[in-house]
């Protein structure tokens, strides 16, 4: 079983609005995520991990790594 940990706010214009599968809170995720993953908010993930007692394995997609690199990249221009 895999989870997609989602934020309550988005940072990109094409972020997708969704609902947490556990508490139904509004969440946002990227459009290129694996649709088979269970979408969950940070609060519910924290409660799940605390109850389970295991450490999660966290991964990101190559597309997300590319987006983060572009977001933090310095650009040439007038300051």
Contacts of 2 (CB under 8 A, 6+ apart): 34, 36, 37, 38
pLDDT for 74 equals 81
Question: Per-residue pLDDT for 76 more than 90?
Answer: no
CA atoms within 13 A on the CB side of 5: 14
Tell me the per-residue pLDDT of 22-59, one tens digit each, with 9 for 90 and over: 999 999 999 988 899 999 999 998 898 888 887 777 88
pLDDT at 71 over 70: yes
For residue 78, pLDDT over 80 is answered with: no
Q: What pLDDT does 79 receive?
A: 60
Q: Domain limits of the chain?
A: 3-69
């Amino acid at each position: 079983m895999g989870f997609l940990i989602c934020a309550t706010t988005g940072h990109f214009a094409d972020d997708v609005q969704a609902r947490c599968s556990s508490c139904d809170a509004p969440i946002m995720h990227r459009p290129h995520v694996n649709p088979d993953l269970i979408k969950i908010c940070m609060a519910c993930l924290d409660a799940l991990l605390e109850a389970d007692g295991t450490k999660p394995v966290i991964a990101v997609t190559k597309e997300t790594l590319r987006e983060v690199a572009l977001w933090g990249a310095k650009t040439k221009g007038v300051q």
